[in-house]
Amino acid sequence: MVFFRSVSLLSKLRTRVTQPSSLNNSVRWLQIQSSSNLDLHSQLKELIPEQQERLKKIKSDYGKVQLGNITADMVIGGMRGMTGLLWETSLLDPDEGIRFRGLSIPECQKVLPAVQPGGEPLPESLLWLLLTGKVPSKEQVDALSKELRSRATVPDYVYNAIDALPVAAHPMTQFTTGVMALQVKSEFQKAYEKGISKAKYWEPTYEDSLNLIAQLPVVAAYIYRRIYKEGKVIPADASLDYGANFSHMLGFDDPKMLELMRLYVTIHSDHEGGNVSAHTAHLVASALSDPYLSFAAALNGLAGPLHGLANQEVLLWIKSVVSECGENVSKDQLKDYIWKTLNSGKVVPGYGHGVLRKTDPRYTCQREFALKHLPEDPLFKLVSNLYEVVPPILLELGKVKNPWPNVDAHSGVLLNYFGLTEARYYTVLFGVSRSIGICSQLIWDRALGLPLERPKSVTMEWLENHCKKVAA
């Protein structure tokens, strides 16, 4: 379902109406949050029982339905394309791109509450959407913002754990260390040791998840100031929302940068369950590891250059283009540099995606932000030229299924424009954002009682023998 805000006087809890989507020809049912209840936890207590029954019915009625055939290529190729995970908060379509609880990014920008009309969605509003499947009111988002601020106090021993590392340690190493230190106060671990009922696992998971989401910007900002700003920490501002406060604690208060941070956190929050960081969190949590342990594991996956570290690599590569060719590089010069990169055995960072077969909508919305706020920026113009030059070259290679730009192709240029130039730090921003999607799903993992993840593995000998039998 796609969810749009509306006003209803006919229902105390929810109303459904229809409205044509500007993005396709189908008519979608709309579910709207019209309850005056501002408490997110209470909303979940209402929703969870019906979703538990829904999952039981799916298992009972359709448990033996086949979802596809597994090939040897899939087994060898990192399980690519296998349908094997339940992930409620978002779905990635190869052609449409990401949908958060049914909403596309343009639809989120249209209906989720913002600070001002026409502004970027507040990350708290997306958190509400991911957890409940409902578009919140501005009052509910404000209440959630206030709750997150009340949970954002970070114990001194977390800073001490980070300070035990060399300042030169990669920001992601310091970030993961901080998350592991936060784990000391895990509510889930305490509840499990006391023998909490399985039916209530989701409640301490909820507490841990909201605490973690609230504390991450504080930890991340501390690391940034420690590494790049001589340790001069900027206190949180209780008047600011989640994204704006994060930007403020980093040291960036330009209103346009606050809007960019709201957009950045929102669009990076979730990307269905099969990517490395999301899958890692789901896998680790399936062993009943608490959200801190699960998210720390996810961050270690995010730190890989084939995943979240790519946003760092893109800006470094773009700056290498400028260093060699100048800011006013021609398209012919760009083509030569791209071929030089490819012929050296490297990839053009920021292009291609494991699932998408079109331009990443997250790239598109960042491009629209740049056209609105920094149309004359030389690096933005370079990114625009790359958009025209790179895909035809990748198609010419004949081996690339998706030659189009992904989210990483654009984010670094925007951050760089507003003064956040330290590319090694960018994956930490990604990590803060991804906590919203990962933690939302972890809460539902517990609520639905999803089991220990344990796929079957085989040897090459088994694979050879099995394929020979099938081919005979």
- Which residues carry out catalysis? 307, 353, 408
3-state SS string for 27-94 = EEEEEEECCCCCCHHHHHHHHHHHHHHHHHHHHHHHCCCCCCCCCHHHHHCCCCCCCCCCCCCEEEEC
Dihedral sign of CA atoms 339, 342, 347, 351 in order: positive
Contacts of 137 (CB under 8 A, 6+ apart): 5, 33, 113
Q: Where are the alpha helices (DSSP H) in 198-290?
A: 202-228, 242-250, 255-267, 276-285
C-alpha angle 26-407-111 in degrees, rounded to nearest 5? 40
Which of 226, 123, 40, 122 has its CA nearest to residue 434? 123
Q: Give, in order, the Cα–Cα distances in Å from 89 to each of 27, 37, 204, 282, 445.
A: 21, 22, 19, 13, 11
Which of 328, 352, 355 has its CA nearest to residue 342? 352
* Alpha carbons 43 and 284: distance in angstroms, whole number: 27
Which of 96, 145, 148, 100 has its CA nearest to residue 126? 100
H or E element, residue 254: none
- Output the six-digit token pair for 182: 């936060």
Is residue 277 a contact partner of residue 301, using CB atoms and an 8 Å limit? yes
Which of 309, 247, 246 has its CA nearest to residue 277? 309
* Alpha carbons 193 and 15: distance in angstroms, whole number: 41
* Alpha carbons 373 and 361: distance in angstroms, whole number: 18
